[in-house]
Amino acid sequence: MNQKKVSRLSRRDFMRLSAAAAAGITLSPSLSCSVESITSPMKRRFGRINFDVTTMALGGQGSIQWTPDDVEPVDIILKAFELGINYYDTSNVYGPSQMNFGKAFRKLNLIPGQSGYDKNLRQSVFLTTKTMIRWAKGGYPDLPSVRNSSHGDHGEGAIADLKRSLSQMFGNGDGTYPDGAWVDMVMIHNLNNFEEIDVVYRGLETPLDKDDNFGALVALRDYRDGTNITGLNPKNEKLIKHLGFSGHRNPQVMVEMIQRDKWDLLDGMLVSINVNDRRYFNMQYNVIPVAQARNIGVIGMKVFADGAMYKKEPGWSRVPDDVVRIVGTDTIPGKPLIEYALTTPGVHTIIVGIGEINDDPLRCQLVQNYYAAQIEADALDDNERRVIEKIGERAHQGETNYFQMADRGLTPPGNFLIEKTDKIKLSWDTSYAGNEPVRHYEIIRDGELLETVRHTPQISKVPFSFETSAGKEFKIVAVDAAGRKSATEAITV
């Protein structure tokens, strides 16, 4: 692919176009959806992954999954390549999405072994797929709280999902795939509860029994490293470069997933983030800082709340009519929603599902979203972000994020314990933030403030700790940026 670099559309001109589009005004600018009019995209280093990712990425849902009769999903993918977008997301539970990527990859000469295979182009993009199967093998034990689903009803485990992805995107969809095919990352998708985490880490935290079942992570690691520790990779194939996970709902579960990763397996995290995030048990003050502290690549999703910012009632999309095919509205323009997500500290890129593309730049979702995503990570301060949050209140009174847990407010520190030897050692786990970040912890001894301990992201299961030489009764108080407090019960030594 020959990416042309041309003069950049000025921010003023782009804002004029965006405002006109929101107001329904038709202009005739020289800009079109053609690559000749688009500048090279802004990129950010993708956590500890040796890759510079474009701030705008293409999601595998939208019309790529729920395709309206008058939309060609392959053209959306091809247009994203023309724009220089280099991160692509899909999943085994996105219906025809992976097959549509496969059709586009054939047109782009991205099939290994195919005449004209463009290896350089393949190496220049980052392709992620996802599995919602928690077990490595089929025949998983009956645990109702542990999700195990995949389109195709193959009844097998996460490794079968991996091979299905490769077959659909690089093969013929019959379970086979060509030599030299790989995906850049496989994510354990949509984690919701602690029981699921227990399963995915089985065989890592527990003894590995090859004759029994075990979690997805240890088996996927074999396909990342070309090893056969589990017995599920007899050909010692290397089909994956990175492992990750995702979640929409519960940041506490996602924090647990990171804290239990003693092997640095998790290079990427896909997380919901939008202007209404702080109205819920939020991601931006809870799990994203933990991922950032572990230098994990962070991908934002649900920037438009799966369409609930616009025409759709809050709820999962199911059919083509659920797909948003407009470029913002006069009351809720898309540009600030994208800017908010990309100025959330720790976020590297955002995936956006595209409903349609258009030769008119004012109606071309890819072009409009692309330019909105050309923003530095620190371009907005907290006050500017609060102004943008007001826009989210215009959609369903701000209650758009059906996929997130309700706000719980600032929680007390967890697992407060006292150990007495020659000194008194206090230990506790992180508090979870409400709509302001946690700032510090107060150590209260015998009713008086003894010391403060700065809050930092708790990146492992090692708790916070504090030692003192004397005292009879202690408690720990979490304090957030607004000065609100939440305390443990007092413990007497």
DSSP letter at 266 equals: E
Coil, strand or helix: which one is 377? coil
CATH architecture of the domain 11-398 equals Alpha-Beta Barrel (3.20)
User: How many whole angstroms separate alpha carbon 101 and alpha carbon 76?
Assistant: 10
Q: How confident is the model at residue 40 (pLDDT cuts 50, 70, 90)?
A: confident
Q: What is the pLDDT of residue 132?
A: 92
Q: How confident is the model at residue 382 (pLDDT cuts 50, 70, 90)?
A: very high
Q: What is the pLDDT of residue 119?
A: 97
Q: What is the pLDDT of residue 98?
A: 97
List 444's β-bridge partners, or say none. Answer: 449, 475
Domain with CATH 3.20.20.100 in the chain: 11-398
Range from 87-91, 174-178, 342-346, 384-388 carrying the lowest mean pLDDT: 174-178
CATH topology for the 414-492 domain = Immunoglobulin-like (2.60.40)
Per-residue pLDDT, averaged over 117-140, amounts to 93
Q: What is the pLDDT of residue 27?
A: 34
- Residues 45-79: b if buried by 16+ CB within 10 A, e if exposed: ebbebebebbbbbbbbbbbbbbbeeebebbebbbb
Summarize the chain as % helix, strand, coil (round to 5). Answer: 30, 20, 50
Q: What is the pLDDT of residues 295-332, one digit of tens each?
A: 999 999 999 999 999 989 999 999 999 999 999 999 99
User: How many whole angstroms separate alpha carbon 369 and alpha carbon 57?
Assistant: 10
Token code pair at residue 470: 């004397």
Q: What is the pLDDT of residue 26?
A: 32
Reply yes or no on whether the pLDDT at 9 is more than 80. no
Reply yes or no on whether the pLDDT at 2 is more than 90. no
DSSP letter at 457 equals: -
Reply yes or no on whether the pLDDT at 176 is more than 90. yes
Q: Find all residues with CB under 8 Å of 207, minimum gap 6, and list them.
A: none
Q: Determine which helix (DSSP H) or strand (DSSP E) holds 13, and give its type and residue range.
A: helix 11-23
Q: What is the pLDDT of residue 138?
A: 83
What torsion, rounded to 10 degrees, do the Cα atoms 320, 247, 138, 229 define?
140
Per residue, the 3-state secondary structure of 126-183, as one string, reads EEEEEEEECECCCCCCCCCCCCEECCCCCCCCHHHHHHHHHHHHHCCCCCCCCCCCCE
Judge if pTM exceeds 0.75: yes
Mean pLDDT of the chain: 91
Q: How confident is the model at residue 156 (pLDDT cuts 50, 70, 90)?
A: confident
Q: What is the pLDDT of residues 426-464, one digit of tens each?
A: 999 999 999 999 999 999 999 999 999 999 999 999 999
Q: What is the pLDDT of residue 25?
A: 33
Q: What is the pLDDT of residue 75?
A: 98
User: How many whole angstroms separate alpha carbon 378 and alpha carbon 343?
Assistant: 6
Residue among 50, 95, 100, 51 at smallest CA distance from 80 = 100
List 28's β-bridge partners, or say none. Answer: none
Q: How confident is the model at residue 294 (pLDDT cuts 50, 70, 90)?
A: very high
Q: What is the pLDDT of residue 141?
A: 59
Q: What is the pLDDT of residue 151?
A: 53
- Percentage of residues of the chain with pLDDT beyond 90: 86
CA 414 to chain centre: 26
Reply yes or no on whether the pLDDT at 90 is more than 70. yes
Token code pair at residue 395: 């959609």
Q: How confident is the model at residue 72 (pLDDT cuts 50, 70, 90)?
A: very high
Domain with CATH 2.60.40.10 in the chain: 414-492
DSSP letter at 235 equals: T
DSSP string, 41-63: PPEEE-TTSS-EEESEEE-S-GG
Q: What is the pLDDT of residue 21?
A: 39
Residue among 194, 190, 128 at smallest CA distance from 162 = 128
User: How many whole angstroms separate alpha carbon 346 and alpha carbon 258?
Assistant: 15
Letter for the amino acid at 36? E
- Percentage of residues of the chain with pLDDT beyond 70: 89
CA dist list (Å): 217 to 94, 397, 445:
21, 40, 43
Q: What is the pLDDT of residue 335?
A: 97
Does residue 57 contact residue 352 with C-beta atoms inside 8 Å? yes
β-pair type (349-352, 297-301): parallel
Reply yes or no on whether the pLDDT at 36 is more than 60. no
- Residues 476-485: b if buried by 16+ CB within 10 A, e if exposed: bbbbbeeeee
Per-residue pLDDT, averaged over 197-226, amounts to 96
Per-residue pLDDT, averaged over 150-161, amounts to 72
Q: How confident is the model at residue 362 (pLDDT cuts 50, 70, 90)?
A: confident
Coil, strand or helix: which one is 322? helix
Reply yes or no on whether the pLDDT at 37 is more than 80. no
Residue 262: CB atoms within 10 A of its CB come to 11
User: How many whole angstroms separate alpha carbon 188 and alpha carbon 403?
Assistant: 17
Per-residue pLDDT, averaged over 184-194, amounts to 96
User: How many whole angstroms separate alpha carbon 94 and alpha carbon 57?
Assistant: 17
The H-assigned helical ranges of 186-268 are 194-200, 216-225, 251-259
Residue 446: CB atoms within 10 A of its CB come to 12
Reply yes or no on whether the pLDDT at 220 is more than 90. yes
Reply yes or no on whether the pLDDT at 8 is more than 90. no
Which is more confident, 289 or 154?
289
Coil, strand or helix: which one is 228? coil
User: How many whole angstroms separate alpha carbon 65 and alpha carbon 323?
Assistant: 10
The H-assigned helical ranges of 230-313 are 251-259, 287-293
CA dist list (Å): 470 to 268, 304, 441, 487:
44, 53, 19, 21
What torsion, rounded to 10 degrees, do the Cα atoms 299, 457, 135, 159 define?
40
Q: What is the pLDDT of residue 4?
A: 32
Coil, strand or helix: which one is 40? coil
